[in-house]
Structure 1
Amino acid sequence: MLIRTVFLSLLVFLPLTSVALDVKQSRDGFSLEEDRDYASKAHYWGLLGGGEVTSWWSQNISRVMRTAVIPNRLPANTFERNESDWAKRLAEVTADTHLGTMTLAEAISDPRSAAKAMIVIHEGKVVFETYPGLRPADSHFWASVAKPTAALLIEQLIDEGKLSDSDKVEKYLPDFAGTALGDTKIVELMNMVPGTDTHDSAKTRQDPDSVATRYYLAEFDEAYKNGEVETVRDILRGAARTGPAGEVFEYSSGITQMLVFIAEAVTGRAWADAFDDRVWSHVRAEGALQMHLAPDGMAMAHGVVSSRLRDLARYGLLYTPYWSLVADRQIVSDAAMARIATPEYGQDVFMKGDGKRFSSYLGEIPVGNSRQWDAVYADGGMFKGGLFGQGLYVSPEKGIVIAYFSTVASSPLARFLRPLAKELSR
């Protein structure tokens, strides 16, 4: 336990900004010896700090974790391309990053960015695409960019009248009756304001006894203490109340998993099957969506999800008026989009908690977070990021989707999202 505490303490101060990775290696492939070595080190403690093990794991999760494969059931759409007018112009967009002021092209080529792939779509057309550390057909880790997938099934069930934002969790999950989370409303889960000790932060990740550390250990089938392996559901049932719900935005993967449990209870389907029926089977994707599973079969929709980068971009397009280019029906309703566009808890609640961190990360203060999206702007822009520098930005009105994949927590690419969107909106 002491070793783990010291290790996690070091992670808080780990100079991730100086990490440099040869991303070409992950594009060109690994040797047999490297595959075996990295696989043996792909445990929770070994992945938190980023680096070569994380870089390998983020493209090979199905080799070391249970995985539900959600197939692409429709012929893939073919994107029109308009790179001749835009690619050079976007490459020259500048942003102030922790690595200094640089152009997008410089940020992507800087090894400290560990930038593996990026795509920009404007009005349904590809205007920029690059794969310095990934082959286009390779699948990669979404990280927390996946969190809106859990929210999307809840949005659909709200649209269908099968549940309500104001309902308490215990209405659908009887085993949570009498617990802090059982007494929490669905809208409070959607917006990560539960007022419970489920917060996922640098501080909680350095505490081996925190709820956050325990539910991550459970997902990796690693013992919490005394050789016992818990389940995420059991851990969340034991979460305690820290204050009134609705007052502070506190980021939490465990809270996202509560949405998974609710969706399964209401649909009567395993989460991967429900997402297949309701979403992925209607997407004109190039490849399968890999939904990685905890040892007990729980779908880790909070982030342990993989797909091709273009398919992540297709998912982003579902939130725009250009959805018909990539799907055979509207999957994200106008009503759901209206709910996302207007944060229920506003900027004050956002900035009391993790909003400060996200605003610094993005370089611009949003209106707030909303329904599993990290940031929503007054002009409609929506952002969702991931732990190791993954990101998805959507500007619905302009039909802009930006998706990128890297493997360092301090990736500078997030600082380019708003400048790129503004350049495309001129």
Structure 2
Amino acid sequence: MKSILIKALPILFITSVSLTAVAVDVENSRNGYSLHENQTYASQTGYQKLLSGGDLTSWWTQNISSTMRTAIIPNRLSANTFKSNSSDWTKELGEVTANTHLGEMTLTDAINDPRAAVKAMIILHKGEVVLETYPGLRPTDSHFWASVAKPTAALLIEQLIDEGKLHDSDTVSTHLPDFAGTALGNTKVIELLDMVPGTDTHDSSKTRMDPDSIATRYYRAEFGEAYKNGKVETVRDILKSAGRTSPAGQVFEYSSGITQMLVFIAEAVTGQSWSDAFDDRVWSHVRADSALQIHLAPDGMAAAHGIVSSRLRDLARYGLLYTPYWSLVADKQVVSDAALARIAKPHYSHDTFMKGDGKRFTSYLGEAPLGNSRQWDAVYADGGMFKGGLFGQGLYVSPNEGIVIAYFSTVPSSPLHRFVRPLAKKLYQN
């Protein structure tokens, strides 16, 4: 199957970072934008301004295909109709409380607080909708997933492992010969999946402020911004230049560039573009409401680490693929039981997790997990799985209970992250 390609001009990328909490009137994004606003925001779009989480960010998260090349993966099956049990649950879930960086508050308070800039939220329990709200979106609007998309890159790798076409222990150069002799060429697939490569590819506030860091360079390349001497690099070439900082497997260091290595491997093994492979293997089997948008770098690289857009319900459908209720939203099981078992048991220790970015994820979730696993930020002993994204996006899945919590926001730090565990536990009781 072939996805449809839409071309647009790349957006400006600025390297310095300012993560300032900004209140956003999300009603503006729900009501739509004028011609003047669209033109103004498009001309002002820049990386530093996007990270502020203000009105420009709010516009961009719903209009990425206006600023970047985009592969459209159509919805090929008729959408399923979710049963709704929200009348019994909405008030009860709205009263769930959490201690957030904005203070102790109920879920209803968090959704209504302009500092949280919540665009939309949905909760499924055993495949039924128990809460759904759209303060800043129309239900038919698509929105930026951010790093919530990272498990999509891992899913293709999981399928190829299931099929015996690659192994966790394979080195990168086994499948990408052009990486032979590089630091990442000697890195194992499992070390990519769990983000413990021991290379200078770390994506953090510090590396984003360094104009010469690998992270800054691969974001520049992704958005078509020249690095030096007017040259626009490619993410692939930048990652070839990565150096080793420590033995692999010792520290969890978050990196979108490492996720992109999984994209390159999936393309090499399948012989397809990543978008076409994801279409064939996953999205064509999902009973989605609308198309999935995969936004692309200037060289056509699918930015599956995070620059992906869809409707909220389709993100929830994706989450449900990781549960026994997958048949409600798909015509075949695309996440195998074996893959789920691999995700549920972190390969590396809790100590490896906490030596690095595990401290940050534990802090904003409010409850320490077992660790990160295979592109999921956190997995818990009761089976809960969480993946977060910049600007407060989130996807929480409890496979055994068929719980899916999905949300879109527009602030760098969302209070909703602190609610996923209390909400899941509330639903466990029923």
In the superposition, the TM-score normalised over structure 2's length comes to 0.96
Q: Which residue of 2 aligns with 1:228?
A: 231
Q: How far apart, CA to CA, are the structure 1 residues paired with 2:269 and 2:49? A: 36
With 221-230 and 158-167 compared, the bigger mean Cα shift is at: 221-230
Q: What letter matches 1:34 in structure 2?
A: E
Are 2:143 and 1:135 aligned?
no
Give unmatched runs, 5+ long, in structure 2: 1-12
The 2-side partners of 1:395 and 1:306 are apart by 23
1:58 to 57, 61, 71: 61
Aligned position for 1:8 = 16
Picking from 289, 294, 297, the partner of 1:294 is 297
User: Taking every aligned residue pair, what percent have the same amino acid on both sides?
Assistant: 77
Query: Aligned runs of 1:8-407 on 2, under 5 Å?
Result: 8=16, 11=18, 14-16=19-21, 19-407=22-410
Counterpart of 2:5? Answer: none
- Regions of 4+ moved over 2 Å: 43-46
Q: 1:138 is aligned with what amino acid?
A: D
Measured against aligned partners, the alpha-carbon deviations of 1:218-256 in whole angstroms (never above 9, x if no partner) come to: 111011122111000000000000000000000000000
Question: Aligned to 1:80, what secondary structure does the other structure show?
Answer: coil
Question: 1-side partners of 2:45 and 2:237: how far apart?
Answer: 24
Contact kept in structure 1, 2:51 and 2:412, CA below 8 Å? no
Deviation at residue 41 of structure 1 after TM alignment: 1.6
After alignment, is 147-156 or 219-228 more displaced? 219-228
What's the C-alpha RMSD, in Å, of the aligned pairs? 1.0
Amino acid at match of 1:329: K
State the alpha-carbon separation in 2 of the partners of residues 225 and 105 from structure 1: 48
Q: Find the counterpart in structure 1 of residue 3 from structure 2.
A: none
Instruction: Give distance in 2, aligned partners of 1:84 and 1:113.
Output: 25
Give the distance between the partners of 1:37 and 1:341, measured in 2 at CA. Answer: 45
Q: What are the superposed Cα offsets for residues 234-293 of structure 1, whole Å, 9 maximum, x if unpaired?
A: 000000000000000000000000000000000000000000000000000000000000
33-42 vs 250-259, greater mean Cα deviation: 33-42
Q: Secondary structure at the match of 2:184?
A: coil
For 2:331, what is the secondary structure of its paired residue? coil
Structure-2 separation of matches of 1:36 and 1:327: 39
Matched residue SS, 2:132: strand
Structure 1 residue identity aligned to 2:75 = N
Displacement, 1:46? 2.9
Please give the alpha-carbon distance, in whole angstroms, between the structure 2 residues aligned to 1:274 and 1:57. 27
Count of residue correspondences: 417
Provide TM-score, normalisation by structure 1: 0.97
What amino acid does structure 1 have at the position aligned with 2:77?
L
Q: Does the 8 A contact of 1:44 with 1:216 survive in 2?
A: no
Can you give the 5+ residue segments of structure 1 that lack an aligned partner in the other structure? Answer: none
Shift of 1:84: 1.4
Checking the alignment, whether the CA contact within 8 Å between 1:115 and 1:407 is kept in structure 2 is yes
